[in-house]
Structure 1
Amino acid sequence: MDVLVVGGGPAGRALAGAAARRGLEVSLVDPRPERPWRATYAAWSDELPEGTPVVTRSRARAFSTAEHVLEREYSVLDNARLWELPPEVEVLRARVIARAEGRVRLADGRVLRARRVVDATGSRGGRAAQTAVGVVVSQAEAEPFVAPGEAVIMDWRRPPSATTGDPTFLYAVPLGPDRVLLEETSLARAPGLPLAELRLRLRSRLDAHGVRMPSAEERVRIPLDAPKAEDGFGAGGGLVHPATGYGVATALRLAPVVADALAAGEGPEVLWTQETRMVHALRLRGLTALLSLAPREIPEFFHRFFHLPVENQREYLSHRDDLRGLTSTMLILFRSSPWRVRASLAGSVFFGQSLLNSG
């Protein structure tokens, strides 16, 4: 075959579909290919490629030390439609136990060979992680936290109960008719904040408004500094933003690019130019900067961030190939921050090197 994609998540399925539509012979290996995706995938609407299926589009707000009305629309993706594959893709229920160039060995003993094997199994390793615990409630139950037709991207107001000083925020997004996800989120911590602490904080937010905590929950753990896998695509291929945890929109947008490369005899390495590598390295230093901030400084940092012009916000959140724009944005953010926040940021490798390089 031409292409073997290992892993059937959003990135793997997007790439397999894009490659098949270019006339390549494609197989996808997944231990449980019929398994529905239980995670909620969302993104800024302007990051998504045209035609991406979504279930909701919302106005966006954030709360740091003040309320911010954001000028970017926010979308929750339609998992069922993203899961679909062209009939030309052969789906194999199997588990890969060993890999070598151009072939994989399955747990049942079979060996599959392909002109190119792409690893879309997700990220592994690293120390820092974003963690979250979420529940789905009705719109009426969610009303104290988010207005109808809106998404709250971050609410840094401290929950009534917490056993540690680690900062967390409430993430509240509509999922469709009368369904809203409320998620207590730790943006970045090394190691990730335990789910038990997030569950306690979310329960305390709900209890304060007389809302019963549902038993079913969504659990999230996104490695932020995991090494990039060779021939990887998606989270394992370095496409997760190290300081925000977002990555699905990037994978959807770049799947056609990698499919074109596969058709030309290349692979995911085409995504990693000198400039994209430098941007990724600076984003990793951005993660270092976030981890360096004291808990009380995190809301202040995001207060300054959400005051940036929208294009500067995009430079940091969305663009992976504009080194000058990213550096400029971070310098603006540094210079607009209070001195106590500057002191923490200046001590991080990210801001120290950025400032030195700016001359």
Structure 2
Amino acid sequence: MDAMDVLVVGAGPAGLAVAGACARRGLATAVLDPGPDRPWTATYGMWSRELPDDLPAAVVAARAAGRAIARTEHRLGWEYAVLDVPALQSHLTAQADGVRFHTGRAVGSPQRGVVTLTDGSELRADVVIDAGGRWRPLAYSRAEVPAEQTAFGLVLDAETAAPLVSAGDALFMDWRPDHGETGWPTFLYVIPLGGGQVLVEETSLARRPGLPLSTLRRRLHARLAHHGIRAPETARSERVSFPVDQPRHDGVATVGFGAAAPLIHPASGFSVAGSLRLAPRVADAIAAHLPAGPEEALAAARDVVWSRSAQVVHRIRRIGLEALLRMPPDQIPGFFDVFFGLPEHHRWTYLTARDDVRGTLAAMGRLFGESDNRLRWHLVIPALRRRLPSNDQGPQRAETL
């Protein structure tokens, strides 16, 4: 086939969003995925304030006021939106009108503009975007032992879940150890799905390596029992596992996008909102610079995804992640009690503003100022030490820089 202007590897939300945005700007665009028509099964949520302006109302399945429980209860001050995933997929597919879809799996990019498939064939494009999710088929670097967010959830009817959340509420985090176990801390996440259904999920925010799903399943059932809830044996389950500390995408001739970039926020695991909002800007950059040449277009797209300020904020967030990974389990609820007690604008900036260096530093500074000395110590250590190899080895194995 003739070379395309843009080839996107990956047909998830990030991949379809950026492919559609490129096609609407007149760029000849193709998408490569092992199953481009495969239905999406994950649950996607975001803060309502982050919903793209052009996202149809029908794509939002439910909205709820967010709250969190650490040592005390906190109102977040903003709304949580849960997406209707089939509607989202239909919308983004319609937005990708004119995009060519190819079925196949990418295994590498041996040179700029060339993507090799498992069957030995090749696809060519001036600009290649790796939106392949956690697998990042065109990236070189990967974490040897990644820190992962893992979760096990069940879908219950709203009446059954009523002891946990009332109508119109979402429980972003509940760190109380109602599961009755000690050890690595986990929290309960409860969100409405619409249609009278609620997702209840036991979540490990981050651990290196990820906490086993069997542990999370056991804790969830114990927590539900603590609240007098018996889940039906027929309840639909959800299993979650993805890395939160992947290195920045370093494919020499490609630009990473979505979770492959990675755009995942290590403190929340969110990436879909950022991907949907960033896709038009990436497409604008490619369309504006491609007349000057593929290298210029690729560089412009990278600058949108990883501006200098975005790189700095990314580094600050990774230091925060390492702080959580090194923190003694009994300190985690206290940390989040301080965080959720911060003024709303500080919390909002840290959770959403990926290129606001000043605002992110201000939020971290306020967090440090509100913490006790023990917690301050655990916040400082990650900035002075190398990455903790594994939580199974313990912090004593980390090396000082």
Classify the TM-score, shorter chain. over 0.9
Partner residue of 2:259 out of 224, 232, 235: 235
Partner residue of 1:44 out of 44, 47, 71: 47
CA-based RMSD: 1.6
Residue 97 of structure 1: SS of its match in structure 2?
strand
Distance in 2 (CA, whole Å) between partners of 1:201 and 1:161 is 8
Q: How many residues align?
A: 350
Q: Does 1:104 align with 2:115?
A: yes
Distance in 2 (CA, whole Å) between partners of 1:180 and 1:187 is 20
Q: How is 1:45-124 mapped onto 2 (pairs within 5 angstroms)?
A: 45-52=48-55, 53-84=59-90, 85=93, 86-100=96-110, 101-124=112-135
More deviation, 210-219/167-176: 210-219
CA contact (8 A) 2:52 2:277 kept: yes
Unaligned 5+ runs, structure 1: 352-359
Residue 283 of structure 2: SS of its match in structure 1?
helix
Residue 296 of structure 1: SS of its match in structure 2?
helix
Distance in 1 (CA, whole Å) between partners of 2:101 and 2:9 is 10
Partner residue of 1:149 out of 168, 180, 189: 168
TM-score (norm. length: structure 2): 0.84
Residue 180 of structure 1: SS of its match in structure 2?
strand
Distance in 1 (CA, whole Å) between partners of 2:180 and 2:237 is 19
Q: How is 1:132-281 mapped onto 2 (pairs within 5 angstroms)?
A: 132-162=151-181, 164-208=182-226, 209-214=228-233, 216-229=236-249, 230=251, 231-264=255-288, 265=290, 266-267=297-298, 268-270=301-303, 271-281=305-315
CA contact (8 A) 1:135 1:214 kept: no
CA contact (8 A) 2:8 2:129 kept: yes
CA contact (8 A) 1:172 1:182 kept: yes
The CA deviation string for residues 313-349 of structure 1, in whole angstroms up to 9 with x for no partner, is: 1111100111111111101111101222122222221
Q: Report the CA distance between 1:105 and its aligned residue.
A: 2.2
Unaligned 5+ runs, structure 2: 136-141, 291-296, 386-401
Distance in 1 (CA, whole Å) between partners of 2:323 and 2:233 is 35
Distance in 2 (CA, whole Å) between partners of 1:332 and 1:235 is 29
More deviation, 248-257/229-238: 229-238
The CA deviation string for residues 108-167 of structure 1, in whole angstroms up to 9 with x for no partner, is: 3432111111100013432211111111000011111111111100011113343x5111
Distance in 1 (CA, whole Å) between partners of 2:98 and 2:130 is 20
Taking a change above 3 Å as real, the CA distance of residues 156 and 300 of structure 1, as seen in their structure-2 partners, is same
More deviation, 262-271/68-77: 262-271
Q: Percent identity?
A: 47
Q: Does 1:292 align with 2:326?
A: yes
Distance in 1 (CA, whole Å) between partners of 2:340 and 2:119 is 52
Q: Report the CA distance between 1:244 and its aligned residue.
A: 2.4
More deviation, 151-160/107-116: 107-116
Q: Does 1:21 align with 2:24?
A: yes
